[in-house]
Copies of this chain bind each other. A is one copy, B any other.
Amino acid sequence: MRLSQYFLPVLRDVPKEAEIISHRLMLRAGMVRQQASGLYSWLPLGYKVLIKVQKIVEEEQNRSGAIQLLMPTIQSADLWRESGRYDAYGKEMLRIQDRHERDFLYGPTNEEMITDIFRTYVKSYKDLPLNLYHIQWKFRDEIRPRFGTMRSREFLMKDAYSFDLDKESAVRAYHRMFVAYLRTYARMGLTAIPMRADTGPIGGDLSHEFIVLADTGESEVFCHKDLLDKPIPAPDTDFRGDLSPIINDWTSQYAATEEMVDMAAYESAVPPDKRVTARGIEVGHIFYFGTKYSEPMKATVTGPDGKEITVHMGSYGIGPTRLVPAIIEASHDDDGIIWPVSVAPFEAVLINLKAGDAECTAACDSLYDELNANGIDMLYDDRDQGAGGKFATADLIGIPYQVILGPRGLKSGEVEIKHRRSGERETLPVGDAAKRIKALIEPQRRTDI
């Protein structure tokens, strides 16, 4: 993408309303724009990151055996009356009347609707296990939305719902999501730690939050240090097999949010040199809640013996619009964002140091074509502007590699590559640049970790 033809409204000033670094950087880098309190447009750069995040979520959901569909944003109030949540849900639910004065709502979550779909079509134990998910916009009318898209009113969420014959197989479904989540975060370059959690308004008796450590985290967390670099389950993990050894390994070491922590248990379980007390950001939440919705909504199947069985359910949420700022909180410096390659809006940026110079521009154009031909997702700063501003923008928007070419380099036939994360610079022949960038980027795409 040529920057001269792109829409990248970078801001010079730090927006005053932004309280946390990810919100400031997303505004400054032209990733999002607030349209009203808690309502954001995702501008082209931000949208590209959001889509890459969403794609990783989808790939790992699909790998685990979950099946994607899509439910509407607007739901009938009657469904929520069946579960009893229409009245129980407070003012966070955006209630709507249509032109015929029928009651609707903008879905804050989809347990009721998916249960309704399930009971309509699934009649036999033979059709289980089943895990259905969608990635759809949700709305929660927060009284005071803040932190940008980290806690917006309209937000994108992947929510999966599992249906099983009994608790034992429902727990296996829960394990599959647990492993899918570990892989999802790792592919985005995040270290996320599963912690036992409260089930809250979703209900149930088994729940984990996945927490990314960051100074700006909303709550305090306590965990064993070894959890920070535990290996991630492999891509060829057999999701139809027994995953409990993996789950046991991940849950055997102490990890708890401030709501759940028992300080005495923490201190007895974790030696002092292994204790990590830090701030954390919740980036996912999984629940097993048994028959909480299937019972009132009569979601049953016929068992092998012909008897009706009320299905056991779980739900599993990840918010892509929250993951993007969480990644920034975990990966930035004073100059701006530092994207992991797997979610970077562009993998590399080619900087033409002198766009007014015909020879330099011809060399850059040809290098740009070569980088594109090598399958690198490229931004090309072809604007006729000073070098300083170009470097600042490239740093701010966090593209992992900068390929820098100007008249002086051209004379010696050399290009400079700057590694955004380490600051390291290397000089190499122009003809080797594409091969080098490809070699740097490919292992970091993390499609196969």
Contacts and interface: CB of A to CB of B under 8 A. Distances in A.
A47 B74 contact: no
A41 B73 contact: no
B67 A44 contact: yes
Given A99-B141, A137-B73, A113 B7 contact: no
Contact of A69 (B41, B94, B106): B41
A39 interface: yes
A104 B7 contact: no
A113 B41 contact: yes
User: Among the interface residues A67, A98, A139, A154, which one has the most CB atoms of the partner chain B within 10 A?
Assistant: A98
Interface string A321-353: 000000000000000000000000000000000
Interface in A166-186: none
A42 interface: yes
Contacts of A122: 9
Interface in A52-86: 65, 67-76, 79
B72 A39 contact: yes
Contacts of A154: 72-74
A6 interface: yes
Nearest to A98: B141
Contacts of A116: 35
Interface in A27-56: 30, 33, 35-36, 39-44, 46-47, 50
Given A7-B69, A7-B132, A74 B44 contact: no
Given A35-B75, A76-B36, A104-B36, A65 B5 contact: yes
Contacts of A79: 35
Interface string A82-126: 000000000110101011000010100000010011001110000
Nearest to A75: B35
Interface string A115-150: 011001110000000101000010101010000000
A42 B133 CA distance: 11
B143 A41 contact: no
A59 to B, nearest CB: 14
B7 A130 contact: yes
Q: Taking the full assembly, how many copies of this chain does it contain?
A: 2
Contacts of A141: 98-99
A94 B94 contact: no
Contacts of A132: 7, 44
B70 A35 contact: no
A42 to B, nearest CB: 4
Contacts of A91: 99
Contacts of A143: 99
Given A33-B120, A65-B5, A113-B35, A41 B71 contact: yes
A117 B41 contact: yes
B72 A40 contact: yes
Contacts of A137: 72-73, 137
A75 to B, nearest CB: 7
Contacts of A70: 41-42, 47, 50
B96 A96 contact: yes
A76 to B, nearest CB: 4
15 contacts: A7-B121, A7-B132, A30-B121, A35-B72, A35-B79, A36-B75, A39-B75, A41-B69, A42-B69, A43-B69, A47-B70, A72-B154, A73-B137, A73-B154, A137-B137
A47 B69 contact: yes
A122 B74 CA distance: 34
A5 B42 CA distance: 35
Given A75-B35, A91-B99, A154-B74, A69 B40 contact: no
A112 to B, nearest CB: 10
A352 B76 CA distance: 41
Interface string A9-23: 100000000000000
A120 B7 CA distance: 12
Nearest to A71: B41
Contacts of A75: 35-36, 39
A58 to B, nearest CB: 10
Nearest to A383: B126
